[in-house]
Structure 1
Amino acid sequence: MAFLSSDQRELYLPLMEGLLEDPPWQRFLGNLLQRTGARRAALALAPTGETAPLLTVRADAARAASDPPLDLSLLAALGLFPGKVMRRDRVYTLGEMLDFDAQPTLAAQRAALGAMRINHARAVRVGTPGGGEAWLLLTREREDLGAADSALLAALAPHLGAALAVRAALGRSELRAAMAESTLALLGTGEIALTASAQVLAADPEAERQLTFAADPGPLRRLQIMPETARALETACTALAGAAPEERRLLPVGERFLLLRPAPPGFEAIAVIGIVRRAPQAFGPHAAQVLADIHGLSLREAALAIGVAQGETILEAGTRLGLTPETARNYSKRLYAKTGTSGQAQLVALVLSGLAALA
């Protein structure tokens, strides 16, 4: 079945645009209801090879506003959508999903469907490698869905598969970005993406906390800085756009410094990455245990090392931990031996550059 121009506008485009909706594909399902005259539509998403949906998106026609909730978990437990074993891209009728070989199961299925006012349905399963699984369901109470509705679902299946693959790729990108941002934040580091004219395209949460931004005509922002600093920033961004990867510029921004470097290739609009950093906050509650596990220290020895890394002297850290000066000195000697360091400076560098600083 070929898409009509109206289908392209009302179904295919909302399917792509729905990737950015929360929850996804709400407008697509609403348009699909209108296109087919179905009473309800549902889209269940699950990881590849699983039938338990992690996300379910639903849309109801106006006449179904007072219907009982559509309980897909119950239907799946009864061997129906989405628990029914279904071949990918094949459209199933409700009769094909019912278990006529087991009368008790069939009776339970029909009772659950009747309670939800589902007497007719069409369903299709879609999946892509790495994109997960999706089940698209249309239901009616009175009249059955027709051959045209089945053909429409079959035609939509490959497009839904493509949308699933894009959604999975976006999810992986968002996960990588979130992991990087959370680690950088623990180190007090934030990043911003700048155009060649010093407009801010994006800023991570840590940069948002450390810098001040001002609205700019159009959709982008600028750093809220003194005019002479703004001119210097624009000059630096222009110079770094397309420069060699090792090029750097350092710019004072209020009480902080902004380290500028050329953006990595592949991002057309981004010319420069700006890096800002504050002094890291106190070590986390698991830092001593992590340091102890890595280097075979006692918790007291690890706590002493962390105190030194935070700027205390051996004696100050020992006093805070309830150690006598002599015991603190003995602990420091054991620390150097166990960590392979030859002095306080090396010990501090070891602690600050290790996993304990992120724990």
Structure 2
Amino acid sequence: MSTLSGYQRELSLPLILGIHEDPPWTTFMRTLVNQTYARRAFLVITLANAMASQEPAVVHVAAGRAAHEPPLDFMRIAAMGLNPYGLMRPGRVYALEEMLDHSNAAQRDQQREALNIMGIHYGRWLRISAPCFADAWMLLVREREDFSSFASSLLSSIIPHFAAALQTFVALSEQRLSSAMAHRALERSGIGQLAFDSNARVIAADPLAETLLSFLPEPGAMAGRRLQVRPHVAVALETACAELAGGPADRRRLIRLDIRDGMNMLLRPSDLNLGKFVPRPSVIGTLKIDARDISSRAVQILSELYGLSHNEASLAYGLATGESIGEAGRRLHLTSETARIYSKRVYAKTGTKGQVDLVRMVMAGLAPFA
């Protein structure tokens, strides 16, 4: 038993770190193949909320002695008419013989022959389920001799731990999805954000901020990064973060990152509620770039919301994103008089009282996020 525990410990770290790998659990599967003396293996993961058209994630692994061999063909094996994966009892290890169709001798013989052609003479299947989250299936195969009882015991012992890791993987995937949606919405509006500690170290930056700015690693053993800016800007940023950290929620500081490029950043005290055990930033920095784009999707949204023609909606979105009536008219190949007529129609249909009111209405709605 102590020997089994030692092997389990060797799998623990790859199981935890595998949540963040792409594809997930590749190192774990390699370690498992080595410990069970398997020749080849695959791991199949299906998410409970995945679209019907989304193919499952498949991780292929081979021992060093089988590195030259093709990976196991998951789809071909699934089409053999073996014991359906969905009917396998979660938490149980199945031997090759248990997966064959013993109710039909001819079918069983065909299955054996097809598996032999693929070099699968001995195998262990197992299904791991995290109910309402995901299902995973593993297949490990050998060629010359069957798996030992120790290998089967090891596979059985890792099932509950892998089920917990699978549930954590799905929860993190959902958080990544939520974060990606929020970042994309801000990016469409030209907004980037950073999180700072009280010493102006960058704790996190969203994708747009990562694209717009340059960073330097924090010297020494300290975690985090710093913005790569001119010395006087770095001093101003450090001073502002120190002043805002823990200060009144309504305080703000404006930092001019680059006067030539017009890049400015608005700092405010962080009000994020992240729970007790999550490092909280002291200050949030917000960037805004000109993201004006006469998007056909935004025009379509305005057309549907207010019953505008295509040209009326395009002119409305142009006015809302900074164009003058003359500029919007020329873009649409309209005369100045026609453009003014269109603008009056837009004001009437949207219930706005002029360009300022139109800008407020459009930019506060869904069109910028289309």
TM-score, structure 1 length as denominator?
A: 0.91
Q: Say whether residues 1:239 and 2:207 are aligned partners.
A: no
Separation (CA, whole Å) in 1 of partners of 2:99 and 2:2: 27
Greater CA drift, 228-237 or 199-208? 228-237
Please give the residue correspondences for 1:179-258 in structure 2 after superposition, counting only pairs within 5 Å: 179-218=181-220, 219-255=223-259, 256-258=263-265
Q: 1:298 aligns with which of 309, 313, 333?
A: 309
Query: 1:107 corresponds to which letter in structure 2?
Result: D
Separation (CA, whole Å) in 1 of partners of 2:94 and 2:87: 11
Q: How many residues align?
A: 359
Q: Say whether residues 1:261 and 2:274 are aligned partners.
A: no
Change (3 A) 1:143 1:240: same
Alignment deviations for residues 226-278 of structure 1 (CA, whole Å, 9 cap, x no partner): 33332222222223333454443322222322112233133425222211111
What is the CA-CA distance between 1:17 and the residue it aligns to? 1.3
Query: 2:300 corresponds to which letter in structure 1?
Result: Q
SS at match of 1:118: coil
SS at match of 1:330: helix
Change (3 A) 1:238 1:105: farther
Separation (CA, whole Å) in 2 of partners of 1:340 and 1:211: 41
2:45/2:136 contact within 8 Å kept: yes
| Alignment partner, residue 111 of structure 2 | 109
SS at match of 2:342: helix
SS at match of 1:286: helix
Greater CA drift, 192-201 or 141-150? 141-150
Separation (CA, whole Å) in 1 of partners of 2:106 and 2:351: 71
SS at match of 1:142: coil
Query: 2:368 corresponds to which letter in structure 1?
Result: A
Please give the residue correspondences for 1:126-137 in structure 2 after superposition, counting only pairs within 5 Å: 126-137=128-139
Change (3 A) 1:245 1:103: farther
Please give the residue correspondences for 1:132-147 in structure 2 after superposition, counting only pairs within 5 Å: 132-147=134-149
SS at match of 1:166: helix
1:187/1:280 contact within 8 Å kept: yes
Separation (CA, whole Å) in 1 of partners of 2:8 and 2:72: 28
Q: Any gaps of 5 or more consecutive residues in structure 1?
A: none
Please give the residue correspondences for 1:315-334 in structure 2 after superposition, counting only pairs within 5 Å: 315-334=326-345
| Alignment partner, residue 124 of structure 2 | 122
1:94/1:122 contact within 8 Å kept: yes
SS at match of 2:87: coil
Greater CA drift, 137-146 or 348-357? 348-357
| Alignment partner, residue 25 of structure 1 | 25
Q: 1:72 aligns with which of 71, 74, 81?
A: 74
2:60/2:71 contact within 8 Å kept: no
| Alignment partner, residue 62 of structure 2 | 60
RMSD: 2.4
Q: Any gaps of 5 or more consecutive residues in structure 2?
A: none
SS at match of 1:233: helix
Separation (CA, whole Å) in 2 of partners of 1:116 and 1:246: 68
TM-score, structure 2 length as denominator?
A: 0.89
What is the CA-CA distance between 1:5 and the residue it aligns to? 4.9
Please give the residue correspondences for 1:165-180 in structure 2 after superposition, counting only pairs within 5 Å: 165-180=167-182
Equivalent pairs: percent with the same residue? Answer: 46
Change (3 A) 1:244 1:42: farther
Separation (CA, whole Å) in 1 of partners of 2:354 and 2:3: 73
Separation (CA, whole Å) in 1 of partners of 2:209 and 2:84: 43
Q: 1:100 aligns with which of 102, 106, 109?
A: 102
Greater CA drift, 91-100 or 139-148? 139-148
